[in-house]
């Protein structure tokens, strides 16, 4: 590592050495460095020498230390890609997950006309990745984003601004449906569904606990959503909702006026997403 007039010059050997020191893979170290320098991973990967300021070096080292403590990269750099779109995330929101993209796939399956004038409710919106992704596809749709956390809704609001979608968004602080007034064509939701008894990996624990865990063996969210959803859905409206790996049978037994249309497996072969209809 060489310093010239407050500029630090890194070689591949320097990067490997620092990665080992902090217990971080070289790939993760480069990803974090790309966030600090606002360059692409590919651009840095092919550079023989990387120039950065001493201040940037210290920021990068702080990132490496956090990553060495198993903090997810998305939490460190405060952004995560979902369905090809970059979303801001932070400690108040659950990072978007690849398996949740199945909700978008199913939405597109049931609503093939991308010009449709749809009213959507994103229930427990977090980053807003579900509703905002739908709005980016359906140019005439509108979405109300509901979350119990004001901090999470602030992130949704910021993401809506960044994607130039704010004019088709509304935001409501609510414990599920408690402050919701309207009726919608589609409700989408990825609620907390992990049993309080289940021990998750350390990386997951950097997400807010109320976005992960649910009482009643992980079923509390569904016990509140499914019986009440019909009052907020238009006739033939759909509820598309994510579930846990062991909840397929329990979901099917829940009392609701909605008709269960299908339960779909994710790429890992786990029953992951349910589609209900208000018949």
Which residue among 27, 53, 69 closes a domain? 69
Q: What is the pLDDT of residues 174-198, one digit of tens each?
A: 999 999 999 999 999 999 999 988 8
- Tell me: do 88 and 202 sit in the same domain: yes
Q: What is the structure's pLDDT at 149?
A: 97
What average pLDDT is seen over the chain? 94
> Does the structure show a pLDDT above 90 at 7?
no
> Does the structure show a pLDDT above 70 at 1?
no
- Tell me: do 62 and 188 sit in the same domain: no
- Tell me: do 176 and 208 sit in the same domain: yes
CB atoms within 10 A of CB 203: 15
- Tell me: do 10 and 135 sit in the same domain: no
Which residue among 38, 69, 100 closes a domain? 69
Model confidence at 11, in pLDDT bands (50, 70, 90)?
confident
Q: What is the structure's pLDDT at 216?
A: 95
Average pLDDT over residues 270-277: 98
Q: What is the structure's pLDDT at 118?
A: 98
User: Please, what's the b/e burial string for 244-279 (b: 16 or more CB within 10 A of its CB; e: otherwise)?
Assistant: beebeebbeeeebebeebebbebeeeebbbbbbbbe
> Does the structure show a pLDDT above 70 at 4?
no
Model confidence at 2, in pLDDT bands (50, 70, 90)?
low
Q: What is the structure's pLDDT at 228?
A: 97
Average pLDDT over residues 241-252: 95
Q: What is the structure's pLDDT at 95?
A: 96
- Phi, psi for 143 (deg, rounded to 5): -140, 135
Q: What is the pLDDT of residues 102-144, one digit of tens each?
A: 999 999 999 999 999 999 999 999 999 999 999 999 999 999 9
- Tell me: do 17 and 91 sit in the same domain: no
Q: What is the structure's pLDDT at 262?
A: 97
Percent of the chain with pLDDT over 90: 87
What CA–CA distance (Å, rounded) separates 241 from 128?
Answer: 15
Q: What is the structure's pLDDT at 256?
A: 94
- Tell me: do 31 and 131 sit in the same domain: no
Model confidence at 6, in pLDDT bands (50, 70, 90)?
confident
In a 10 Å sphere around its CB, with 0-12 CB exposed, 13-18 middle and 19+ buried, how is residue 169 labelled? buried
- Tell me: do 196 and 229 sit in the same domain: yes
Domain that holds residue 10: 2-69
> Does the structure show a pLDDT above 60 at 3?
no
- Tell me: do 143 and 22 sit in the same domain: no
> Does the structure show a pLDDT above 70 at 279?
yes
Which residues are 85's β-sheet partners? 82
Q: What is the pLDDT of residues 136-161, one digit of tens each?
A: 999 999 999 999 999 999 999 999 99
156: tokens are 């949704």
> Does the structure show a pLDDT above 60 at 5?
no
14: tokens are 């320097």
Q: What is the structure's pLDDT at 199?
A: 81
Model confidence at 213, in pLDDT bands (50, 70, 90)?
very high
Q: How many domains does the chain contain in total?
A: 2
- Tell me: do 46 and 172 sit in the same domain: no
- Tell me: do 90 and 24 sit in the same domain: no
Which residue among 19, 43, 69 closes a domain? 69
- Tell me: do 23 and 151 sit in the same domain: no
- Tell me: do 56 and 103 sit in the same domain: no
How far is the CA of 49 from the CAs of 8, 29, 54, in angstroms?
10, 15, 15
CATH number at residue 213: 3.40.50.150
The pTM (predicted TM-score) of the whole model is 0.93
């Amino acid at each position: 590592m060489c310093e010239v007039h407050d500029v630090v010059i890194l070689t591949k050997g320097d990067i490997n050495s620092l990665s080992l020191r902090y217990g971080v893979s070289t790939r993760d170290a480069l990803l974090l460095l790309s966030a600090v320098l606002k360059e692409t991973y590919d651009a840095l990967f092919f550079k023989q020498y990387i120039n950065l300021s001493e201040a940037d070096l210290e920021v990068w080292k702080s990132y490496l230390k956090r990553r060495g403590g198993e903090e997810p990269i998305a939490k460190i750099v405060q952004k995560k890609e979902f369905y090809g779109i970059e979303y801001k995330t932070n400690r108040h929101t659950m990072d978007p997950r690849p398996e949740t993209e199945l909700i978008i796939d199913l939405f597109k399956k049931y609503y093939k006309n991308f010009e449709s004038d749809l009213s959507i409710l994103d229930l427990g919106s977090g980053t807003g990745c579900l509703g905002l992704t739908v709005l980016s596809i359906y140019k005439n749709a509108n979405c109300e984003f509901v979350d119990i956390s004001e901090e999470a809704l602030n992130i949704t609001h910021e993401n809506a601004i960044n994607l130039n979608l704010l004019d088709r968004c509304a935001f409501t602080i609510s414990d599920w449906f408690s402050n919701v007034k309207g009726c919608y064509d589609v409700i989408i939701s990825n609620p907390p569904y992990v049993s309080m008894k289940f021990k998750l990996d350390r990386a997951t624990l950097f997400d807010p606990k109320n976005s992960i865990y649910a009482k009643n063996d992980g079923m509390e969210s569904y016990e509140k959503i499914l019986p009440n959803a019909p009052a907020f859905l238009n006739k033939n409206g759909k509820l598309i909702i994510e579930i846990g790996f062991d909840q397929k049978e329990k979901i099917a037994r829940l009392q609701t006026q909605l008709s269960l249309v299908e339960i779909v497996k994710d790429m890992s072969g786990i029953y992951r997403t349910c589609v209900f209809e208000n018949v």
